[in-house]
Amino acid sequence: MPAIETALWLALRARVETLVLTPALPIAWPNESFSPPLTGYLRVNWIPNLNRRLFLRGSDPHQRLSLLQIDVFAKLNRPVGEALEVAGKVAAHFPADLSMGAHGVMARVTKAPDVAQPLREDTHLMVPVTISIEAIH
């Protein structure tokens, strides 16, 4: 049985892998080789945030809060609505109360994802999408 953190990551990654976009965008995963295309891509990061003790015994389940960050990188000098549309589709793929699991560990989306302001970078327009995650384990 993998560690809780590994199981949570596997559950989140499996959900991201089911995202279907047209046109399809390659995904930059943490610590995996990736060459960003100028046409656009997604970048995924999981940010474990806070563990809360809910019960008296330390061996009882803890609430584990985290953020799944999916950044949409769109081609520069295109209408901003195109990047926002992709970000909206990413957000819609993670509706509130969506459950995801792996190896007996379940994670849940706690609220509608946050689509942030588009940010112009050197090579792309980036739109951050932040998904709030909770696991009780």
Cα–Cα distance, 60 to 57 (Å, whole number): 5
CB neighbourhood size of 43 (10 A): 19
Q: Where are the domains of the chain?
A: 4-136
Q: Judge: domain 4-136, CATH 3.40.50.720.
A: no
pLDDT tens-place string over residues 90-136: 999 999 999 999 999 999 999 999 999 999 999 999 999 999 999 99
pTM: 0.93
CA distances from 25 to 40, 103, 120, 126, 133 (A): 7, 28, 19, 14, 23
CB neighbourhood size of 74 (10 A): 23
∠ CA(97), CA(70), CA(24), 5° rounding?
Answer: 105
pLDDT tens-place string over residues 52-71: 777 667 667 889 999 999 99
